[in-house]
Each structure stands twice: as structure tokens, then as C-alpha cells.
Structure 1
């Protein structure tokens, strides 16, 4: 590494001089950095806007009837139970308006049982090994217990097997346990089956008799009265008794009828519309806030004067104006003076109850138009916003390459200046040495 002593021969601070010269030279590259920062700011803003427009498209989609099923947020129903202490219900988009009355005769449970002999925890339960078969439903496995095994070991062997059951040790007194076995599934076919092996000792002789604790059972709903019929399910919930409806019993009570009413989910519709309006306002707000001039900082937002994003805002607002047959006011939506949208749930609910068909039609038409605006802007193939983001990203890449080349030139220029000043210092040093020698020679000449 070379050692540079600035101004050794000339008395001039050449290091500072080179630094000042380079600072002046680097001014020409300031525009490149500014250009890259501007392009990157635009990319960041447009990417955020792109995400918001995609969200707007998603919010619009749920309001448009499906081309195959006709389902939308406006065909959804909600379920109410006349007695939530006995049964509740939930719905999917496949549910339709209707009503069903039933009683809960039983609730699904898993079969279980326990061996009646108790053991001290962590101690041997038999000096000899033994085998037995355990299972539930269509699953079973042979359990081979080694001599000296503890009751905890037996439970672990059962749990590692593919027998369709779960085993646990239950503490019935301090450090005293018995083995309980429960089916891994529920339903009438979930009984626990224990079969002794063919050699002695047997499971029964070691663990004791296996006694049933809980009888396996299905959930059984009685539809109608004496002339009705039963519906059973091996699980607690009864699914699709009516299309898209899941009935969840809370307790069995065969004497108390429960009615499940399925009605239009107006609150759900309002929530979807509110999300639709919010998504639109998010996109409009991004364009608006990034298109302003800051008079204090004397700077403009990254979208100031940007015709494309201004056009997108206008397209969204135009889509929300609807048509003569699909007015936004029908949905409780209004366009404010500042261009933002407002949703009035009370007006929507009143309009829907008065004329649900007109409200449903208006929602579908307006949402379709908004969805088209979103798709044309955000399409991965040829969306206007997508292509603009790609163009700005290319600008950032180009600016970065130019800055790299500029920095390379500046490094070379700085090295050249250092070499030139170093050569000058060397020459001046030699001249000074020669001058000092001449002065010394002159001093030796006779003066008289």
C-alpha cells in the first residue's frame, strides 16, 4: 500500500484539493441517483396500488353471480336456531332458504372401556410376557407385552399401534393406575374390542376384566313426530341434511323440538359490500395521497401528474356510478365530493328488504364493471399497471447500471488525479533539493 504525504514538496494540501475536484466531478452524476430514487419510489407506490386493485377485484367477484351455480354474496343464507342450548347450525354458500324441525335423540360418542385391575405406577405388572388383540371399527392390532413391563408401557404400545384406539393410564388413587382404552373415532361402530391371546398369561389374567364405560353411539336426529324418520351421523355434527347446512347438537333432548330457519344473510351481504367500498377507497386514496404537491418541502408525490393512475381513479369512480338500471344508491353507496365512496348499511338493508331483486341486480352489474377495471389494470399478462411497473423496474435497473459505470469512471479519475499530483510533488521536491544545493554552493564562494 502506497504512502502519500500531501504537500510534502509544494506545501499544498493535495489530498484536500483532489477531494474538492472529485466532489465537483461527481455533481454530474447526481441526476442519475435522483432518477433512480424517483423510479424506485414509483415502483413501490404502483406495486402497492396493484395489490389494492387486486383486492378490489376479489371483493367485486363475490358480488357477481357465479356463471355455473349463480351463487354470490346475495344468495347466501344464515341459520338461526330456536333453541341454541340444544342445537346450532352453520351454512355455506350452497345453502338455500328453508326451515327444518327436529329433536336430538342422541349425540355421537366414542366407545370406551377400562381394565378393572389397578397397578402401582412405574412397576412391573407381570413376570411373563403376554399378548392380546385390541381394535375399534375396521382396525385392530396385536399388542405384545414384554415381561417386566409397566402399565405405562402397555399404554404406549397400544398408542403406537394402528389399532384405531387410544390408551391412557388413569390415576384412581395416589400412584395407583388402571388402563383405559377409548376408540379414536365416534359413532355406533366405535366400540372397543379386546381379545386375549392363545397363551398364558392372558391380558384378562394380568389386567383384569375389560368393562365398557361409554357405549358407542351415533348422533341421531328425529325429523318430524311419530310418523317422522331418523337421521344418523357417526360424528357429532350432521352435515348436509339440507344442502350447505351443518347441524351441531349441543345436548340430547328427544322431547324438545328445535327449528333451524335459513333466511337471507343480509348482514353478510352488507359486510361484503362494505369490504367492496373499502377496497375501492384504499385504491383511490393511494392515487390521491401520492399525487399531491407538498408546498412546504417543495416536492411532489411519486404520482404527481401521472395520467395513467389518474385515469384508473376515474375508471373506478365511473364504474361505481352504475347505470339507469343499476344505481349505486340502491346499494346504499354514494360518491362524496372528494371522490371517495360511502356505504350506508341502513339504506342498504331497507332497500334489500323492499326490493331484493333490484338490489341483487345492481350489485352484480356494478361489481362486474369494477372487476373489469381491476382485471385490465392488474392482469399479469398485459395489465396496464403491470406493464407500467415493469417499465419503471427497467428504469431502476438502467439507472443502477449507469451509476455503476459512473462510479467506475470516478474511481479512475480520482486515481489519475492522485498520480498527477504525486508526480508534481516529486518534481517539486527534486527542484527544491537542487535549489538548496545551489544555495549551499553559493554560500561557500569568497565574499571579498
Structure 2
């Protein structure tokens, strides 16, 4: 008889309760993963909703330039406008050189061990030089971390120590002292970029920049110049298409939440396979809350379908881009209010520790983005609590599983002792059986 095989089979039966606990842990881990996936989508929805609550997200512009040498880029908060100007200066970085007969010539003036570098007229910074060669000076300057970089070149005119500013503009022009032969030669002078708007003698003005980028000529627009040129016109128009892109991203984020919840809660009739959150009321409540914010519209405005956002028969949001653009072009303020409006009666509160608690109440007065921002935030809080509850349950289950390990270890040891004693008893019985068989076989045969 194989007692090891028999014990293994008995222990398999003994482990059934532990196996069931382990199965529960696996199920809870899948639940946590599903909740985390929904939480990620809710976080994205809140980000998209909060973006629509910024006025700058509605102030988007598209810039054009009459010259290929001048480009313009816009940022949120752009104000439409136009400006015509002359580019009378472009920004340059200073480049200076000092020449030496060879790479081993002393680079410093007699008795000098430091190079003095002043930038933008500021007090000179002393740079210690340990090796008195052009390369030694270059290494010391580069190690100093200044806005001046040095390199040593081999040229037709000999060894050249070249010093270059890492930034354009007169603020970063530099002077160097302590080199053999005196101050280096400036082969490129530091210069600022300048644009001239109108006739200076008749109320015109200039704008100066240390780089070739001008900020502030038009609000929210950066103008970049590359060469001298006259009569350049930069125009910035409102970019309603870009606003529509943001609205679509907002609607897509809401649909991503609904799709994720649907995926994680699906339970096919007749199928043995169910998703981790099948039948979960928490997930479904979040989905209903999101959908509810679309269907109710806004007090004083009406249905959000007026600017192209509505529910379809499949329980998803749709975005009619053309309808949005028409409504926004007709009355931008009205559409913005329908999306951004807050309820003044619902304000953030402060808890006993002085921390600000975000408002969580949804009201018909609020705009769509405000509602979905709150709904997403509330959903994240609920799901985070659900995840914590699941994690607590897993911790408890694992403790019970560990307790079963000890219990099963003791049970297996007891079975082994029991079967060991049984094997000893069977061995004795076998010996007795053999002895009796021998005794019987030795008896005389009857005649």
C-alpha cells in the first residue's frame, strides 16, 4: 500500500477550504484591477472637465504671417488682433577668439593664474586655470558653469581659443581678461532682436528681445523672427475649431468612463464568464451619475444638445461638431456659461484641520463641465474607498490562508504518524502471518 499517495489525496481534500480562500483573493485582486482601470478613466475625465472650466481654453487663436521669415505661435488665452512691423534687428550670440602660435603656448598673461569673465556688465567671475595652455583655459571656463563656452580649434592661422555665449542678446555679452595678448577679438557682437511698429516720429514704438522670440506684442502670441525685413503683418484670429477639439476631447473622456464601466460590469446571459464587477452597484451608480448630467440640461439654458452634446440610444455621448461651432459662433458667452457655470450656492468647505474640501453637490444650475468634474471627483472618492475595502478583505483572507498553512502542516504530520504506526502494525502482522504459515507447513502430513 502506497501511504504517501494516500496521504497526498487526503491532504488534497483537507486543502479545499484554503483553496477556496485563495480563489477569493484572486477574485478580489481582479476587482481591484477593474476599479483602478475605472479610476484612471475618471481622473482623465476630471482633467478634461477642469480644462473646459478654464477661460483660457476658450481663448484659442490661429496666427498667420505675411512673411516666411516670421512665424507666430499661440497659447491658451490668446486675444485676436493684428500688428504690422519692421524687423530692424535679430538676436545674436557673442563669439570672440584669441590666437596662439601652437597648442602648447602659454594662454595666460605673464604671472596670471586666473581668467576674469564678466557677463552683461556684471562683476567679473574669476576662473582658476591649472594648465596654462589654450586647452587648459578652455577646460577651466567650461567647468565654471557660465553662459560662456570655450573650444580650441586648429586653423590655418594657428591655434584658436574660441569663446561663445550660449545665449543671444546684449544681456549675455561678455568681456575676458587675463589672456596672453590682451582681450580676445570679437568676431560676432552680442545683439538684441528689435521690431519697429509704425513711425517712431509719429507715435510708433519698438520692442526689444534678447532672443528672436517676442512675447506680448499680441496677447498670448509668440512672434519669432529670423532676418531683417520690412512690412511684416502677423494676424491672430479666434480658433473655434481648436475649441471644438477640446470639447470633443472632453466628451471622449466621458465616454471612456462609460465604456470602461460597461466593460468591467458585463455579464453575458448563459455564459459562465463574468467580468470582475458584474452586478457591482458602485460602478453602475457612477455610470448613471455621469449619464444623468447630460440628460438633465441646464436651468436657464435647456438641453446641452443645443451645442451638440447629447445621449444616443446606446447610452453614450455624441458630439455634433458642426452644431457646436454654429452655436458657439452665434453666442460664445451663452455656450461657455452652459459648460462652465458654477452654482454660487455650492461652495467648497473647510474641515476641522483647515483643509479645503471640494464641493461635491450637483445642481441643475451648473454647467456640463462643472458637473462632470464633480461627478468624476466623487466617483474617484467612492472607488478609492471600494479599493481600500477590497485591500482590507484581501489582507484578512491572506491571514486566514497563512493560518491554514500551519493547520495543514500539523494535519499532514499527524497523518504521517498515523500511517507510520499503521505500517509498523502491518509489518508485525505480516511477520506473524509468515511464522504461522511456516508452522503449518512443518506439520506432519496425515497418512
For normalisation by structure 1, the TM-score amounts to 0.83
Structure 1 Cα separation of the partners of residues 302 and 246 of structure 2:
18
2:325 matched to 1:349? yes
What is the match of residue 247 of structure 2?
273
- Counterparts of 1:435 and 1:394, CA distance in 2: 61
The SS at the match of 1:274 is helix
Q: CA deviation at 1:281?
A: 1.2
Contact 2:60 2:243 in 1 (8 A): no
Q: Is residue 179 from structure 1 mapped to residue 168 from structure 2 by the alignment?
A: no
Match of 2:124 in 1: 140
Correspondence 1:161-200 to 2 at 5 A? 161=144, 164-173=147-156, 176-196=158-178
**Equivalent residue, structure 2, for 1:47:** 36
Q: How far off its partner does 1:425 sit?
A: 0.3
Q: Name the CA distance, whole Å, in 2 between partners of 1:97 and 1:299.
A: 57
Q: Are the aligned partners of 2:130 and 2:136 in contact in 1 as well (CA < 8 Å)?
A: no
Q: Distance in 2 between matches of 1:141 and 1:106?
A: 30
| TM-superposition CA deviations, 1:361-399 (whole Å, max 9, x none) | 222201111111112121xxxx22222121122222222
1:27 paired residue number: 16
- Is the Cα contact below 8 Å between 2:148 and 2:163 reproduced in 1? yes
Q: Deviations over 1:147-168 (max 9, x none)?
A: 8x44322322332346642222
Residues 191 and 216, structure 1, Cα contact 8 Å, conserved in 2:
yes
SS of the residue 2:28 aligns to: helix
8 Å contact kept, 1:331–1:363: no
Give deviations 1:49-87, integer Å, cap 9, x for gaps: 11211211111111124xxxxx2422x232413235232
User: Unaligned 5+ residue runs, structure 1?
Assistant: 1-11, 66-70, 197-201
Partner of 1:361: 337
- Distance in 2 of aligned mates of 1:60 and 1:146: 60
Moved more, 224-233 or 20-29: 20-29
CA distance in 1, matches of 2:145, 2:19: 71
Q: Equivalents in 1 of 2:140, 2:16: separation in Å?
A: 78
Matched, 1:370 2:359: no
Change (3 A) 1:366 1:126: closer
For residue 15 of structure 2, give the secondary structure of its aligned residue in structure 1.
Answer: helix
> Which residue of the partner structure matches residue 210 of structure 1?
184
Give the CA deviation at 1:141: 3.7
Q: Aligned partners of 1:220 and 1:347: how far apart in 2? A: 44
Which aligned pairs between 1:158-307 and structure 2 lie closer than 5 A?
158-161=141-144, 164-173=147-156, 176-196=158-178, 203-204=180-181, 210-226=184-200, 227=202, 228-253=204-229, 255-261=230-236, 263-294=237-268, 297-307=271-281
Assess, with a 3 A threshold, how the Cα gap between structure 1 residues 235 and 417 changes in structure 2: closer, same or farther: same
Counterpart contact for 2:107–2:137, Cα < 8 Å: no
Counterpart secondary structure, 1:409: helix
> How far apart in 2 are the matches of 1:128 and 1:112?
21
> Are 1:320 and 1:366, in contact at CA under 8 Å, matched by a contact in 2?
yes
Q: 1:307 to 1:164 in 2, by over 3 A?
A: closer
SS in structure 1 at match of 2:399: helix
Write out per-residue CA displacement over residues 179-221 of structure 1, whole angstroms, 9 at most, x where no aligned residue: 222234322244332335xxxxx6117xxx7322112211111
SS in 2 for 1:169: strand
CA distance in structure 2 between the aligned counterparts of 1:385 and 1:159, rounded to whole angstroms? 54
Q: What is the CA RMSD across the aligned residues, in angstroms?
A: 2.7
* CA offset digits 1:303-344 (Å, max 9, x no partner): 211222111111111112223615332332232211112223
Q: What does 1:350-429 correspond to in 2, within 5 Å?
A: 350-364=326-340, 365-378=367-380, 383-429=381-427
Kept in 1: contact 2:93–2:168 (CA 8 A): yes
1:86 aligns with 2:86: no
CA distance in 2, matches of 1:279, 1:44: 20
| Equivalent-residue separation in structure 2 for 1:99 and 1:398 (angstroms) | 68
State the secondary structure of the residue aligned to 1:203: coil
Distance 2:20 2:177 in 1: 87
When residues 168 and 295 of structure 1 are mapped into structure 2, their CA distance, relative to the original with a 3 A threshold, is: same
**Counterpart for residue 340 of structure 1:** 316
Check the 8 A contact 2:61/2:79 in 1, yes or no: no
> What is the SS of the residue equivalent to 1:301?
coil
* Range that drifts further, 239-248 or 273-282: 239-248
